[in-house]
Amino acid sequence: MWEILYGKPVPFELKSKLQSKLQFQIHVCNGLRPHIYDNTANCYAGLMKKCWNIEPNERPTATEICDIFAEWQNNEIILSELSESDKKLLNGKNDIIHEYINSHYKSSFISSNKCQGNYI
């Protein structure tokens, strides 16, 4: 969801400081998440955080996310919040985000079986 909102791969400064890909994956399993910028719509930021829940059963399903998006389309307050956030993104007020993103490593898919054992 972060990548959809900002239109860039997720950056992680920590990844460049770790010695191995496995160490980075362990940090992600232990709760490492990308930064949510201040001008992000609260409704979207909240949904992202729900999707990042460490417990898979606590995360919304794809169907639930679609239902949430459908509800947002009928809520003028949320639409206004999303529109304002989009304007800030499009007006270049997030140049610092794009500089940060382009200067750091990006996340990659990890298998959950690599996060099990005594390493977590």
Q: Per-10-residue mean pLDDT for the chain, 120 residues long?
A: 77 61 80 85 94 93 95 94 86 54 47 47
**In this structure, is residue 120 part of a structural domain?**
no
**In this structure, is residue 105 part of a structural domain?**
yes
**In this structure, is residue 101 part of a structural domain?**
yes
Count: domains in the chain: 1
Gap between the terminal Cα atoms of the chain:
25
| Kind plus residue range of the DSSP H or E element containing 9 | none
Distance of CA 67 to the CA centre of its chain: 19
Give CA–CA dist 4/63, Å, rounded.
17
**In this structure, is residue 109 part of a structural domain?**
yes
Q: In terms of C-beta distances under 8 Å and separation of at least 24 residues, what long-range contacts does 29-38 make, across chains too? A: 29/110, 29/112, 29/115, 29/120, 30/120, 34/2, 34/10, 34/107, 36/2, 37/6, 37/94, 37/97
pLDDT tens across 84-112, in order?
988 887 775 555 455 544 544 445 444 44
> Tell me, what's the pLDDT at 15?
57
> Tell me, what's the pLDDT at 77?
95
Q: Which domain holds residue 92?
A: 2-115
